[in-house]
Amino acid sequence: MGMTEHMAHIGEIDLCYEPFGFPDDPALLLVMGLGTQMLGWPDAFCEQLAGRGFHVIRYDNRDIGRSTHLRQFRPPTLRQLLLRDKSAAHYSLADMADDGVALLDQLGIGQAHVAGASMGGMIAQLIASRHPDRVLSLASIMSNTGHMWKGRPAWRIYPLLARRPVTERDAAIESSVRTMRAIGSPGFPFEEDALRTIATESYERGHDPAGSARQLAAIVTAPDRTAELKQITAPTVVIHGTRDRLVTPSGGRATADAIPGARLVKIEGMGHDLPRGAWDRIVDAIVANARRADASSRHSAAA
């Protein structure tokens, strides 16, 4: 376990988290995507955000990494997933949003900036809509609204999602690198070594395809969030790569259209990953959006 990783005990669930930066700075909660541990927010990326004045907190969602795996529940079958069978899901994205808020509670953090990628963006949206008093600003990255036809995977990506899970170490690591190559950013260098390092560390922290399948059940059975997104009051930035083949850019457009006052930042050549060459733009967008929150709170204080 990393030196700076900690466990938060939330009811039946333990969440593994790791802070970066100074606790006195405004908190920024980072929520990761499907089947991806908190390492999906690379250390250097978290450090870059901390360097811009945030107390950054990344964490493993339930059913991944070192957080609690809900092994008492059978993973969904492929048929259940394709039929969006409600009985296949043992928890919802809203439950995962409550996990994030409970983590803030444990850390004694009243309000935080929240950024989520992919499934993490869906979770972050629900934190912002259901716990508006807790969210200073929202960054929804490579995500969607849950609408049937917006931001859906390109058809040729489906076989990747439906592949039989690999359990043997080297095969699992190669499979992870191969998936990243398929969904990654065509407009940026492919960072094979860095990705292999993260894939290896992830395997060693806890490899569990069944947990990822249970997360996927929460995604596919989630209702369309469009109406709920219209209720979000936090300043919002929506960040999306123009070459995202997993959550197509229409998902980002629909999200920005739904959330009042949201700004859409399109990153040319970015796919469904966080390429190092795009970090400056992503960090700048999160910082600029957080400043909008500071400005609006100053206005309300002055009013």
Q: Which of 65-69, 97-101, 118-122, 298-302 has the lowest mean pLDDT?
A: 298-302
What does the pLDDT average to over 44-56? 98
β-bridge pairing 135-141 and 236-241: parallel
Look up the pTM and report it: 0.94
Q: Locate tokens 């690591």: which residue?
A: 173
**Domains recognised in the chain with CATH numbers:** 6-302 (3.40.50.1820)
- Residue 223's Cβ-count burial label (10 Å; 0-12, 13-18, 19+) is exposed
Q: Which amino acid is at 66?
A: R
Which residues, other chains included, contact 112 with Cβ-Cβ below 8 Å and sequence gap of 6+? Answer: 26, 27, 28, 29, 57, 104, 134, 135, 136
**Set 67, 129, 272, 273: catalytic member:** 272
User: For the packed helices 192-206 and 169-183, what is the interaxial angle rounded to 10 degrees?
Assistant: 130
Query: What single-letter DSSP state applies at residue 88?
Result: G
* pLDDT given for residue 7 in this prediction: 96
Question: For this structure, is 63 an active site residue?
Answer: no
User: What average pLDDT score do residues 34-60 get?
Assistant: 96
Active site residue: 63, 69, 113, 118, which one? Answer: 118
Residue 118 annotated to the active site: yes
> Is 154 a residue whose pLDDT tops 80?
no
Encode pLDDT of 274-287 as tens digits: 999 999 999 999 99
Alpha-helix residue ranges (DSSP H) falling in the chain: 43-51, 78-82, 93-106, 119-130, 158-161, 169-183, 192-206, 209-220, 226-229, 250-258, 279-302
Whether 244 is catalytic is: yes
pLDDT for position 168:
84
Per-residue pLDDT, 159: 59
